[in-house]
Amino acid sequence: MGFQERSAMKDAISEVLETMFFMFVDFDGDCPGDHYSDCESFISLKNNKGRVDIAFKVREEFARMISANLLGLDELDVTQEDMEDTMKEFANMVGGNYKARFDVNNQWELGIPQFRNLTGTSGDPADAGLLFFCFGRSMGKVEWWNRAC
């Protein structure tokens, strides 16, 4: 992942979280060991030359916080379905924002967001991806891959 892609992703995540979810994140932090993820939302961008797959692997704590903020609920009142829907909407918003940052000729199509529960670690934090932090704690990791057709 190049500098421009990484910068565009940071900007897209920050803008969406600040504007729509009233959350502020940081991308510089210390994350020893594996990053733990409870759930994943993902979305693809496609055109006739290839595809970009984007995956957001986050802690349940983070999914619950952004769900409560978006829906105007207390965190204790957020259901599993609320978190799934919110995480798919988060992927959709960030994917669309990321697309808008480089797709000046409107050649890419945004796919339908998906969600799945995870168990365990998401691997070494040094792997391809971008960790994000909230309140000084690692909350999630975004990974993306370019695939040729």
pLDDT digits (tens, 9 = 90+) for 81-95: 999 999 999 999 999
Q: Look at residue 148 and tell me if it is in a domain.
A: no
**Residue 137 Rama label (left phi>0; alpha psi -120 to 50; beta):** beta
Structure tokens at 66: 């952004």
Our measurement of the distance from residue 74's CA atom to the centroid of its chain's CA atoms, rounded to an integer in Å, reads 22
Which 8-state DSSP code applies to residue 28?
A: -
Question: What interhelical angle do 3-20 and 80-102 show, nearest 10?
Answer: 130
Q: For 92, phi and psi rounded to 5 degrees?
A: -65, -45
More confident of the two residues 127 and 51: 51
Q: Is residue 149 part of a domain?
A: no
**Dihedral Cα 43, 6, 71, 112, nearest 10 deg:** -10
Output the CA–CA distances (angstroms, integers) from residue 128 to 31, 79, 113, 136, 143, in the order listed.
14, 31, 21, 21, 6
Is 22 domain-assigned?
Answer: yes
In a domain, 68, yes or no: yes
- Residue 128: pLDDT band with limits 50, 70, 90: low
CA distance 118 to 38: 5
CATH number at residue 113: 3.40.1550.10
Question: Are the beta carbons of 31 and 138 closer than 8 angstroms?
Answer: yes
Domain region containing 83:
3-143
Decide if 75 is inside a domain: yes
In a domain, 100, yes or no: yes
Whole-model pTM? 0.89
- Counting the structural domains of the chain, the total is 1
Q: For 7-35, how does the pLDDT look when each residue is reduced to its tens digit (9 = 90+)?
A: 999 999 999 999 999 999 998 765 554 56
Within-domain flag for 88:
yes
CA-based radius of gyration for the chain: 15
